[in-house]
Amino acid sequence: MLCEACKKEPAAVHLTTASRPDVASERTFHFCEACAKAIVPLMPELPPQLLCLSDLYRSKLYDALQSNHPEAFYTGDDPKLRRKAMNAMEIFLREQLRKEKIDIGDFAFQMLLHDFSFSRHFYERRDLYHRMHPRIAEL
Ligand SMILES: [Zn+2]
**How high is the pLDDT of residue 57?**
94
Please return the burial class of 90, using the count of CB atoms within 10 Å of its CB with bins 0-12, 13-18 and 19+: middle
Distance 123 CA to ligand 1 centre (A): 12
Query: Residue 106: pLDDT band by 50, 70, 90 thresholds?
Result: confident
Which residues have beta carbons under 5 A from ligand 1 (an ion)?
A: 3, 5-6, 9, 32, 35
Nearest to 78 by CA among 86, 70, 68, 66: 86
Distance 27 CA to ligand 1 centre (A): 17
Domain boundaries, the chain: 1-47, 49-138
Distance 100 CA to ligand 1 centre (A): 31
Q: What is the pLDDT of residues 9-67, one digit of tens each?
A: 898 887 766 544 455 556 678 888 888 877 766 665 555 456 788 999 999 999 999 99
Q: How far is CA 105 from CA 70, 73, 136, in A?
A: 27, 26, 34
Which pTM was predicted?
A: 0.63
